[in-house]
Structure 1
Amino acid sequence: MIKVIEDRFLLETENTSYLFRCLPSGHLEHLHYGKKIIISDDFRPLSKKIAYLPGNTIAYGKNCPTIGLENMALEMSSLGKGDIREPFIELQTSSGITTTDFLYDSHTITCSKQDYVGLPSSYGSDEEVTTLVITLKDRYSECTLELYYHVYYQTDVITRSAKLINTGTDALFLDRLMSTQLDFDHSAYKMTTFTGAWVREMQLNHQMIQAGTLVNSSRSGVSSNRANPFFMISAKNATETGGSCYGLNLVYSGNHYSAAQVDAFCKLRVVSGMNPMGMRHTLEAGDCFQSPECVMTFSDQGFGGMSRNMHQFIKDHIVRGVWQHKTRPVLINSWEAHYFDFNEAKLMRLAKKAKQIGIELFVLDDGWFGNRNDDTTSLGDWNVNNKKLPGGIEGLSKKITELGMDFGIWVEPEMVNKDSDLYRAHPEWAVEIPGFEHATGRNQYLLDLTCLDVQDYLIQSMSKVFSSGAITYVKWDMNRIFSDCHSQNLPAHRQSEFSHRYVLGLYRVLDALTKAFPDILFEGCASGGNRFDLGMLCYMPQIWASDNTDAVSRLSIQEGYSYGYPQSVIGAHVSDCPNHQTLRHVPLETRYHVASFGLLGYELNLSDLGSSVLNRLKQQITSYKKWRKIFQFGDFYRIENPTLPGGYNWMVVDEDQKKAVGAVFQKEAMANQMDLIFYARGLDPQTTYHFYNIPTKHNVKLFGDLINTASPVHIKNGSVVQHLVSKVYQLDGEHEDHYVSGSLAEFAGIKLKQGFGGVGFDASVRLFEDYASRLYYFDRAIGGNTNGTFKTDL
């Protein structure tokens, strides 16, 4: 809802209020964004009171002698006129002037959401979203700034963007245009960012905000695994379940910049948008520039409440198309099974094993085209390698579909190897500086997506690939960052526009291909999570979270993503042990449990596995399919569990609170450990649930020589006898089975079976080795009788 009372603006969602007003000077004073408040038409209690300007500050003008912009909370700010904080906009006129002063001119309100030209953005029906556009005009130059506010009432989200329009006859030079600016009355907050590297994405960082500036940014050309564009501003004492928390994210896939700055008066300014470093854009007469959309949400229910707001918004208003709310198939990916070393016979053996255990989609990864036997050659040559695949993609996909599986394929369209027919034919399409030694990444060059001919080539070549067989899934990869940027397509004064123009070119390609192939499930990837952002999710319903498939590493990676992204967009696979990235050994059950809290896939050579392991995988997949909708689309909860030190506790709950799945993940085993209690979240307090687990089996090898305390014959550790015994005999794990109310599960917790303590073991003891985990299920119980037994709502 948007309400305007004279010079005052009120934006409301179901649980939040956003207020600002127009000052007598024409500037916009920010008044409040946060928990919903009841307010009359009189906003004066929220307005700043000034009788005299503080010393050593700048008076705005002789007609407003008590207005000093440095000490005001504003909706936007610019260089000059006394505000020396992080600006919203920076530009230079053709005469070299950098001072601007954007003042209120007009506004419009519509019950709709228009697309941004060339940029992806959120969407909603006329009933779901209302738009306010504030038009500001600069006093000194001939340009107009439009501030866009889109209010999504039901999901507690407000999005912002801005558009600069050159209404004059001379060129303007734009050096910064943020997407949002939030000014807070005090700085008692912390900033939470998610940083990392390749195979180490989304590591959570809490930083108390103090005097100075905290920055979260990317200059790698993409949204980056170094610093994801999602971040949080929260009360210093905020927890998972309580305290004020703001979440902000950009619908953009390129260089970004977010800053939290404390000024001389202890106010906090937060800005977020495109990275201004080296981004100068020239706007000729009549040109305009739109900043990417910034998504903002607030919750007084802590990090968890904020996350669920953001999750619902992404599911309803970012992801789109056939796959928006459709459950995703369980897949097998060929990469860690065979890397580049495969032929059709190997792939078919893998596919047949996959079909036997219930896998639904076979994905052919890198190595199927050109002379691609390693990563030094053939990117750009999207012709099938007939030595590996004599029947081509059409022949292989036909054989896969005849098995009863869908077929998918890997591509990396934005790249080219120097050793490729494409480079030899069009060296000018590669991003390199003439006369300079080029700096490569993974032996490859970027293609110049600022060039329309390159964009058209990608659309045509990928259309040919996607039409070459029964392809229902595409993994779109991008395995290097930007460096030594230069386009032979751009004049010298526009070289600073390269990075943004590249992103716009990519969006044009993706828009064309996803519209041409609406039924294909696209999965984004950039060396894992190097381009995991809302911009890509507007075209691709899911993204590969990390090239690291180690389940222990994935705990922090996937929990990091969960703060800003729903599990329905997070690709996660079960791989072999020792893991290929860490050489760590992790129990098979844990590998499955971690991956099940994303979009489940498998990435290992099934042909090398014995029947017992394949049967366990089959059981996993059967169970996952039963609970798949909840795993992928349920409300996600991170649980702070004091009885699980150093571990992770997650839970997903369906929307009607009838079913839920919880998980506990342990890092290292603890001797004589404390009692483990499972605390649920998100259940109906008044409902009774059947709480249970599926008992696991323990290999006798796990006990080593200790097995001799129970064995009638001596079994030497590591012996052939031990191996044979392990083949035919396994020890039963514990079984949890209770009927509990939702309130008991959440506020008291369910005490689980005693943990193994080295003094005895049987089926009543919970054995948690290093990296062990369990899944616990909740089914709503219906009926009941005097002895306390119930039926479950299956």
Structure 2
Amino acid sequence: MAEPQSFPNLITVNADPASQAPVQFHLHNGQVSVILGVLEGKLVNLYTGAAVPAAGDFGYLVDDRFRVQSSTVEEGASRYAEHERFAYPEFGRGDYRHPAIEVGQPNGSHVTDLRYVGHTIAGGKPALAGMPSTHAAADEAATLSIELRDELIGLAVTLRYTIFRDEPVIARSAVIRNDGDQQLTLERAASLSLDLPDSDYTMTEFTGAWAREREPHTQPLHPGIQQIESLRGASGPYFSPNAIFARPATTEDAGEAFGLAFVYSGNFDLHAEVDTYGATRLQLGINPLGFQWALGPGDEFATPEALLDYTGNGLNALSQSFHRIVLDHLQRPQWARRERPVLINNWEATYFDFTEDKLLELAGLAKKAGIELFVLDDGWFGARTSDRAGLGDWVANPDRLPEGIAGIARKINALGMDFGLWFEPEMTNKDSGLYRAHPDWIIATPGRGQSVYRNQYVLNFANPAVVDNIYGQMHAILSTANVAYIKWDMNRFISEAFDATRGAEHQGEIMHRYILGVYALYERLFAAFPDLIIEGCASGGSRFDYGILAYSPQAWTSDDTDAIERLSIQYGTSYFFPVATMGAHVSITPNHQTGRSESLATRANVAMFGTFGYEMDLTSVPESDLDEIAKQVAFFKEHASLLHNGDLYRLRAPYDHRQAAWMSVSADRAHAIVGDYVILGVPNRPKSRLLMRGLDETASYHIVSSDGKFDATRTGGELMHIGIDDTDLGPDFASRVYLVDRV
């Protein structure tokens, strides 16, 4: 091997001294290594995992053992396709596992043979045209682009690997291009494919449904395929497009794991395939079921981005690196790591039954409590007095808002508050002016019946004319009224998928084109209104993914506002998503989703580990509650930076229905804030000690509880290994917040 060449200290290329052709690529940053090899023209993954020294020849990692009934890569080769760890496996060449790419050809064949033809290395991170993706400056990351070609059919694939300087994270995507002169049909295009040499892992996926999103479920890998997916046109609350593959002994604080996350909001497929020799293939990408993309000569298709995270230090460390990627390399800089206003939303206070006077009364009380943003939810537009009419007609209802949105915004601003507004831009009711003018704009299959949910239909955002119309309506409001915030809702999934603007050969494109239309609307709104906050909301958590968070600094975590249920929802969400992205509100009691009653203190103690707000009728609460709310708002504002920018540690999982706890620690380990919760009280309770994490072992800390019942000074070592006695925390639904400050 020749001397390795590095650029810029993150990617090393080893070349054959005879031909100077690259043989191995090593991405490394002291935390993670990815080693790729070019073997007889084929690109393979030699190693992915904990960082190893950059120098060296890793060819010994090639698996060339003979196995009965396994086909060689090609005639005369000594390697076997079924057991090769291909970087981007193809269909039909002796590898009988799921391919990363499948391409239909004019003669009916789906066989491809991609060979290495070149590579480039550049500092920084290229964007993906029309799609969300991570970003990094030239000194923060390096990107390896590897060109593969199938010369017979003129197919070119550029694989992109970006390694971040400070995080054990690799960003993966592919650009697929037809350089030939015949029509091709792309039928599968994974964003990430990773072959691992063994299967000694558990898979944790995050599942649920409306009002109980993202609960972790873990099981060991087994021969065959373990899969999560969405076919709904959105990522959905049922299976989140993220998963963790951990060694069985891995805990929150120790052990190895890989995390996979998709920077995409549409249909996805995430699966692990274990062969009967114990090797594992992980794949993540657009769901191939129902997907086809016509690639004419000169056309190209870019896959969404996938992220691969590695830890050797437990799941808390895995989550923390994902959180930093979101805050520093995914979100729009305008609002990343910047505090957002504490808000009040009128939905659970009024639902559709409101007048302008009622809204102003509610806003006035909120202002007295220190709340900074008033959000007007559903019911302000068109003929919208219920969920049966009005969607698509984004013009203020004069009976409710005599001076329109500009008028109500001006009056809210006069109180000293910002004004926010609810939209559901992707939907329409048949009882609307939009539908009556453009009945062909909804997604519907000719000659078939139409499914319906909540009396609404999905607009065809694959049609640029539809996006233009909705943008025009939203722009007319935002350019004439002082709207600082939008709540973007999405309350039903896509069925009867058909694009009336395109021919038969393009019908497999509608789901992807739809979500590209959603992203295009985001992009246009931010181009016109760069300081606008858009909070993603999809029936509360139905599209809570990295794709949306590339545009929205926060997303509504769940329609379930019950504090005790939110412990599970926010705990599960935290594995991939930082506290700063989780919309969390203090709501009415008894809670409207569960009927459960909790103290105002507990409701706030849960919600403050999110983007804080209120969703309740302040006009009907006692004066003492208004005073307490003012204190809660002041407390949150004082500690918001620590809550949102600190490293989150999960301390006690809520899934045994007894207790839960988490904490956020500043980067310099000088300050921490801890949430400690009782779910169900235990009679004759044994001694309970809460063990903290992330502190300086030898430093002394002053720890005090927000309720004044605990006040002590302990070393970091004591707090982490002996803990504090919280046996007296209280009965059902009790809670306490501790402030921890280095002396």
TM-score range normalised by the length of the shorter chain: over 0.9
* 2:738 corresponding residue in structure 1: 776
User: Residue type of the partner of 2:580?
Assistant: S
Partner of 2:538: 526
Task: Name the structure 1 match of 2:461.
Answer: 449
2:519 aligned residue: 507
Distance 2:489 2:600 in 1: 28
Aligned residues of 1:643 and 1:674 also touching (Cα < 8 A): no
Report the count of equivalent residues: 727
| 2:76 maps to amino acid | N
Q: Which residue type is aligned with residue 56 of structure 1?
A: Q
Aligned residues of 2:63 and 2:83 also touching (Cα < 8 A):
no
Q: What is the Cα deviation at residue 234 of structure 1?
A: 0.7
Match of 1:746 among 720, 724, 727: 720
Which of 278, 282, 286 is matched with 1:266 structurally?
278
Q: Secondary structure at the match of 1:134?
A: strand
Aligned equivalent of 2:5: none
Alignment of 1:430-441 (within 5 A): 430-441=442-453
Between the aligned partners of 1:472 and 1:454, the Cα distance in structure 2 is 24
- Matched ranges for 1:37-436 at <5 A: 37-38=52-53, 40-50=55-65, 53-64=66-77, 66-436=78-448
Partner of 1:2: 11
Aligned to 1:565: 577
Does residue 635 in structure 1 map to residue 647 in structure 2? Answer: yes
Aligned-pair distance for 1:606? 0.4
Return the letter of the residue paired with 2:601: E
> Is the Cα–Cα contact under 8 Å of residues 26 and 54 in structure 2 kept in the other structure?
no
TM-score w.r.t. structure 2 length? Answer: 0.96
Query: How much is the aligned-residue C-alpha RMSD, in angstroms?
Result: 1.4
- The answer as to whether partners of 2:119 and 2:145 remain within 8 angstroms in 1 is yes
8 Å Cα contact 1:475/1:525 also seen in 2: yes
Kindly provide the amino acid, as one letter, of the partner of residue 557 in structure 1: I
Distance 2:480 2:345 in 1: 19
- 1:631-670 correspondence runs (5 A): 631-640=643-652, 646-670=658-682
Stretch deviating more after TM superposition (351-360 or 741-750): 741-750
Instruction: Tell me how far apart the structure 2 counterparts of residues 333 and 642 of structure 1 sit (CA, whole Å).
Output: 27
1:441, distance to aligned residue in structure 2 (A): 1.5
Instruction: From the superposition, tell whether residues 48 and 436 of structure 1 become closer, same or farther in structure 2 (CA, over 3 Å).
Output: closer
AA of the residue aligned to 2:101: I
Matches of residues 426-505 of structure 1 in structure 2 within 5 Å? 426-505=438-517
- Partner Cα separation in structure 2 for residue 98 and residue 495 of structure 1: 19
What secondary structure sits across from 2:239 in the alignment? coil
CA distance in 2, matches of 1:749, 1:154: 31
Q: Which runs of 5+ in 2 are unaligned?
A: 1-9, 16-22
Q: Distance in 2 between matches of 1:263 and 1:367?
A: 54
Find the counterpart in structure 1 of residue 35 from structure 2: 19
Alpha-carbon displacement from aligned partner over 1:491-524 (angstroms, at most 9, x marks no partner): 1221111100101111111111112111111101
Q: 47, 50, 60: which one pairs with 1:35? A: 50
Secondary structure (helix, strand or coil) at the match of 2:601 reads helix
- 1:351 counterpart SS class: helix
Q: Structure 2: how far apart are the matches of 1:688 and 1:95?
A: 74
C-alpha distance in structure 1 between counterparts of 2:738 and 2:180, whole Å:
65
Tell me the distance in 2 between the aligned counterparts of 1:770 and 1:134.
Answer: 57
| Cα displacement (A) at 1:140 | 3.3
Q: 1:116 to 1:641 in 2, by over 3 A?
A: closer
Secondary structure of 1:639's counterpart equals: strand
Counterpart of 1:197 in 2: which secondary structure? coil
Deviation at 1:643, TM superposition (A): 14
Measured in 1, the distance between the counterparts of 2:653 and 2:725 equals 12
Q: Check 1:402–1:39 CA distance in 2 against 1; reply closer, same or farther (3 A cut).
A: closer
**1:39, CA displacement in angstroms?**
5.2
1:582 to 587, 594, 615: 594
Q: CA deviation at 1:640?
A: 4.1
Could you say which residue in structure 2 is the equivalent of 1:722? none
CA offset digits 1:182-230 (Å, max 9, x no partner)? 1111100011100111111101110110111000110010011111101
**Native 8 Å contact 1:644 1:666 kept in 2:** no
**What letter matches 1:613 in structure 2?**
D
Shift of the 299–58 alpha-carbon distance from structure 1 to 2, 3 Å rule, reads same
1:693 is the counterpart of 2:705: yes
Q: Offset of 1:295 from its aligned partner? A: 0.8
In 1, Cα distance between equivalents of 2:654 and 2:340: 34
Distance (whole Å) between structure 1 residues aligned to residue 72 and residue 415 of structure 2 = 76
Further displaced range: 342-351 or 28-37: 28-37
Give distance in 2, aligned partners of 1:746 and 1:644. Answer: 22
Give the C-alpha shift of residue 264 in structure 1. 2.1
Superposed CA deviations along residues 318-361 of structure 1, whole A, max 9, x for unmatched, are 00132112111110000000000000010011001101111111
Deviation at 1:642, TM superposition (A): 12
- Partners in 2 of 1:595 and 1:39 — Cα distance? 45
Q: For residue 740 of structure 1, what is the amino acid of its counterpart? A: R
- What amino acid maps onto 1:741 in structure 2? T
Deviation at residue 438 of structure 1 after TM alignment: 1.0
- Taking the aligned partners of 1:2 and 1:385, their CA distance within structure 2 comes to 58
Shift of 1:540: 1.1
Q: Cα gap change, 1:546/1:640 in structure 2, threshold over 3 Å: closer, same or farther?
A: closer
Shift of residue 48 of structure 1? 2.4
Structure 1 position 678, deviation (Å): 2.2
When structure 1 is superposed on structure 2, of 596-605 and 676-685 the one drifting more is: 676-685
Task: Report deviation, 1:453.
Answer: 0.8
Greater mean alpha carbon deviation, residues 644-653 or residues 468-477: 644-653
Distance 2:506 2:386 in 1: 36
Cα separation, partners in 2 of 1:587 and 1:525, compared to 1, 3 Å: same
State the SS of the aligned residue for 1:488. Answer: coil
CA contact (8 A) 1:184 1:269 kept: yes
Q: Is the 8 A contact 1:173 1:283 kept in 2?
A: yes
- Equivalent residue of 1:501, what SS? helix
| 1:253 CA drift (Å) | 0.7
Distance in 1 (alpha carbons) for counterparts of 2:155 and 2:195: 24
Residue pair 1:644, 1:676 contacting (<8 A) in 2 also: no
Closer, same or farther: CA 137–641 of 1 in aligned 2, 3 Å: closer
User: Once the 2 structures are TM-superposed, how far is the Cα of residue 317 of structure 1 from its aligned partner?
Assistant: 0.5
Q: Which runs of 5+ in 1 are unaligned?
A: 696-733, 756-765, 782-794
Q: State TM-score, norm by structure 1.
A: 0.90
Letter in 2 for 1:617: I
Query: What does residue 763 of structure 1 align with?
Result: none
Specify the SS of the correspondent of 2:473. Answer: helix
- CA distance, structure 2, for counterparts of residue 277 and residue 620 of structure 1: 48
Superposition pairs of residues 594-605 of structure 1, within 5 angstroms: 594-605=606-617
Superposition deviation, residue 645 in structure 1 = 7.5
Matched residue SS, 2:484:
strand
Q: CA offset at residue 437 of structure 1?
A: 2.0
CA distance in structure 2 between the aligned counterparts of 1:39 and 1:70, rounded to whole angstroms = 29
